[in-house]
Amino acid sequence: MPDQNAPVAPAVSPAVVEAIRSGMTETPDFPSEGILFRDLSGLFADADGLRTVAAALVEGFGPLDAVAGVEARGFVLGAAAAVATGHGMLAVRKAGKLPGEVLSESYALEYGSASLEVHPSTLPAGARVVIVDDVLATGGTLAATIRLMERAGWDVVGVAVVLELEALGGRAALAAATAAPVKALLAL
């Protein structure tokens, strides 16, 4: 079984770390008391920063068929990473947004609960997918996404986030859900 604590090579460059730090704000007690909210809107609005960070997210996982992005902030990063690497993006939607028959997984996150959905026909069985998102906190969102990918028959070859909030234990939650490597560009 791969060691999920081993870094996915190559190492994160100082330029990537600087783009993240300068494009991030930290707001106490949002969206509810006791949460320190990390917002990456500044990074998303920085053309060079977005391009560099998005490419770094999906680097090093080997051959891919698609990049999966989780609604909503994961869409920004997932689409940018997909375009940067010549792939399509699989949109993992919040509940009630997709028509027709969907696969659905419910989960709890740091400040609430929700469900995510995909159409199982969006990619062929066996498609190799890297899942990207902005933040790994409790891991509820990404563990639910991994369950969806597996139910659809897709192969999760990696999970990549810009920020890992280490105290919230998301890495352990993902280790219970997948043997795929988990990459965080910056751990706080």
Ligand X SMILES: O=P(O)(O)OC[C@H]1O[C@H](OP(=O)(O)OP(=O)(O)O)[C@H](O)[C@@H]1O
Q: Does 174 bind ligand ADE (CB under 6 A)?
A: no
Q: Does 135 bind ligand ADE (CB under 6 A)?
A: yes
Q: Does 72 bind ligand X (CB under 6 A)?
A: yes
Q: Out of ligand X, ligand ADE, none, which partner does residue 37 contact, by CB within 5 to 8 A per kind?
A: ligand ADE
Nearest C-alpha neighbor of 84 from the set 49, 40, 123: 49
Tokens of 100: 């027709």
Choose the stretch contacting ligand X; rule: CB under 6 A; options: 17-25, 69-77, 82-90, 179-187: 69-77
Tell me if residue 73 is catalytic. Answer: yes
Helices (H), the chain: 14-22, 41-44, 47-58, 73-85, 140-152, 170-177
User: Of 22-41, which residues contact ligand ADE (CB under 6 A)?
Assistant: 35-38
User: Looking at 73, 105, 147, 164, which residue is catalytic?
Assistant: 73
Q: What are phi and psi of 149, to 5 degrees?
A: -60, -45
What minimum distance in Å lies between the beta carbon of 152 and ligand X? Answer: 19
Cα separation, 26 vs 65, whole angstroms: 34
Q: Which of 98, 103, 109, 188 binds ligand X (CB under 6 A)?
A: 109
∠ CA 75-77-79, nearest 5°, is: 65
- Catalytic residues, by residue number, are 73, 110
